[in-house]
Amino acid sequence: MSLEIERKYLVYPAKIPLPATGTFLKQGYLNLDPERTVRVRVAGQEAWITIKGKTENATRLEFEYPLPLSDAYTMLEDLCHQVIEKTRYILPAGNDLTWEIDVFHGPNAPLIVAEIELPLPDSPFEHPEWLGEEVTDDPQYYNSQLAQHPYQSWE
């Protein structure tokens, strides 16, 4: 069993020092049930299927398995709801932690979200100046929700 403990924040774009290169990700959802989501993701020449349970107190079950790239593209094109595209940048967060900064494209632009995975729910971590409001418990910022209700459609 795998447990994901993750905190999610909005980002002040003008203040964040993004690296020169990031990783372009395409992902879609086979299942959008809030109790359990099933995601297909492609990053470069690698692909995965991920099953995630319901988030409670920034924690949820997570299982991830590699997929053949051609299968992943078929799933994204033929089986998934709207596909999300984003570029992910990695920044050090101290204490052997890292920030994953997702810059969304298409209907979810100009949304930028920072995520940090923690060893324990109450693990301390640095809060850089570019870190905005915490949205860990706000379901509208879940990628599975952004697939259904893109950021640009919010009023």
20-59 pLDDT, tens digit per residue, is 999 999 999 998 887 898 999 999 999 999 998 887 777 8
Element (H, E) at 146: helix 143-148
Sign of CA dihedral 40, 41, 46, 50: negative
CATH architecture designation of domain 3-148: Beta Barrel (2.40)
For residue 45, the 8-state DSSP code is: T
For residue 122, the 8-state DSSP code is: T
Note whether 143 and 81 are within 8 A (CB).
Answer: no
Q: Which ranges of 41-92 does DSSP label H, i.e. alpha helix?
A: 69-78
Instruction: Give me the count of residues in the chain.
Output: 155
Note whether 147 and 104 are within 8 A (CB).
Answer: no
Q: For residue 111, which amino acid is it?
A: L
Q: What is the pLDDT of residue 1?
A: 55
Q: Which of 9, 29, 89, 141 is catalytic?
A: 29
Share of the chain above pLDDT 90, in %: 75
pLDDT tens-digit readout, 70-125: 999 999 999 997 899 999 999 999 888 999 999 999 999 999 999 999 998 888 99
Residues with Cβ within 8 Å of residue 45, at least 6 apart in sequence: 69
Quote the tokens at residue 145. 């929700």
Is residue 12 flagged as an active site residue?
A: no
The pTM assigned to this predicted structure is: 0.92
CA dist 148 and 108 (Å) reads 11
